[in-house]
Amino acid sequence: MVPNPIIETTLRENDASGVRTRIRYCLVALALSVLVAIAWSFCKIDFNKLAVGTPILFSFVYQMFPPDLSDLSKVVKGAGETLAMATIGTIFATLLAFPLALLAARNTTPGLGVYRIARTILNISRSTETLVFALVFVAAVGFGPFAGVLAITFHMIGAIGKVFAETIETVDEGPLEALALTGAGKLKIIRYGLIPDVMPGLIAGALYMWEFSVRTSTVLGIVGAGGIGQILKDTVDLLNFNKMITVLAVILLMVAVIDFISDKLRHMILEPTDGSIKEPQFIQV
């Protein structure tokens, strides 16, 4: 067979570019290794300390049993307070995030300036940890669950607003253009065509964020912002491990139940009406 010159040239070019790609990978790997080494030195990694500490850790676990259930009603009440804080905080945040999200979504914002301002507000809120907000609000409004509610609200405005804005931006533009071509104004189109269309996505996003809030708010009590975290902190301070295991178990149970409920609700809401998307099935062998 006569060799095809185009095939030969292409093969040679592929070989050359293959070598270039490998060299590039090596350089990237080298750079990453240097960065990891620097980070390692910052972290003061000392496995000796871990070896010494491990028996102590086991003794903590040993001391946790039997669990102390004497104050169970107080612990459950704390969990209830945490759940209430997370729920009210998420509701407040959702109500405030919705208008902000409309301003921070590219397809609904009235202008570039407004878009940038709204995005900045969302970013500041989202990148400030709930615990940091909690410290500030405990100082401002005093100890208790109200500070916790405010902390969750202020962090979640950003988190929920970003999820909402992204949901709004993924909406199918075609039908909205069709409505615009009937001569309808932007506000009417947003109200009639866009909001009902994205609503299931928004509700699912808010529920997901509610799960997050419940998890986050279990530790807010440590800085005095109410809920079960306060009880947890007391048990740690007093080295009362029998009680600590009770508190941890209640937290775990609450978070698991809330995750389960939220997951079920989200599936119900997002289930398409034609049933085209099915639940993932385990492979039957």
Partner 1 sequence: MDNVALRVSSVTKSYGKRTVLDSLDLTVHKGSFVTLLGSSGSGKSTLFRCITGLDSIDSGRIIAFGGSKSVHELTSTQLCQLRRDIGFVFQQFNLIKRFTAYENVLGACLASTPFWRVAFRNFNKDDRRLALECLDRVEMLSFANTPVLKLSGGQQQRIAVARVLAQKPKLIIADEPVSSLDPLTAASVLKTLKTAARDSNVAVLCSLHQVELAIDVADHIIGIKGGRVQLDLANDPEDHAMGNKITSLYERVIGESAV
95 binds partner 1 (CB under 8 A): no
The residue range among 13-21, 41-49, 209-217, 272-280 that interacts with partner 1, by the rule CB under 8 A, is 272-280
Angle, in degrees to the nearest 10, between helices 72-104 and 241-270:
40
240: left (phi over 0), alpha (psi -120 to 50) or beta: beta
What is the amino acid identity at position 256?
Answer: A
Interface of this chain with partner 1, residues 48 to 77, rule: CB under 8 A = none
| Residue 245 contacts residue 65 (beta carbons within 8 Å) | yes
111 binds partner 1 (CB under 8 A): no
278 binds partner 1 (CB under 8 A): no
In this chain, which of 172, 256, 257, 270 binds partner 1, going by CB under 8 A? Answer: 172
Give min distance, CB of 238 to partner 1, in A. 55
Query: How many residues comprise the chain?
Result: 285
H helices of the chain, in order, are 5-42, 47-63, 72-104, 112-127, 130-141, 145-169, 173-180, 186-189, 195-217, 228-237, 241-270
168 binds partner 1 (CB under 8 A): no
In this chain, which of 80, 110, 142, 175 binds partner 1, going by CB under 8 A? Answer: 175
Q: How many residues bind partner 1 (CB under 8 A)?
A: 24
Give min distance, CB of 168 to partner 1, in A. 14
66: left (phi over 0), alpha (psi -120 to 50) or beta: beta
Q: How far apart are CA 226 and CA 145, in angstroms?
A: 4
Closer residue to partner 1 in complex, CB, 136/184:
184
The residue range among 97-105, 182-190, 214-222, 254-262 that interacts with partner 1, by the rule CB under 8 A, is 182-190
In this chain, which of 49, 192, 256, 257 binds partner 1, going by CB under 8 A? Answer: 192
Closer residue to partner 1 in complex, CB, 113/196:
196
197 binds partner 1 (CB under 8 A): yes
Q: Which two tokens stand for residue 250?
A: 């209640």
169 binds partner 1 (CB under 8 A): no
| Residue 232 contacts residue 221 (beta carbons within 8 Å) | yes
DSSP 19: H
188 binds partner 1 (CB under 8 A): yes
Give min distance, CB of 188 to partner 1, in A. 5
Torsion angle of the four alpha carbons 246, 258, 83, 269, in this order, in degrees rounded to the nearest 10: 180
**Contact residues: partner 1, CB under 8 A:** 172, 174-175, 177-185, 187-189, 191-193, 196-197, 200, 272-274
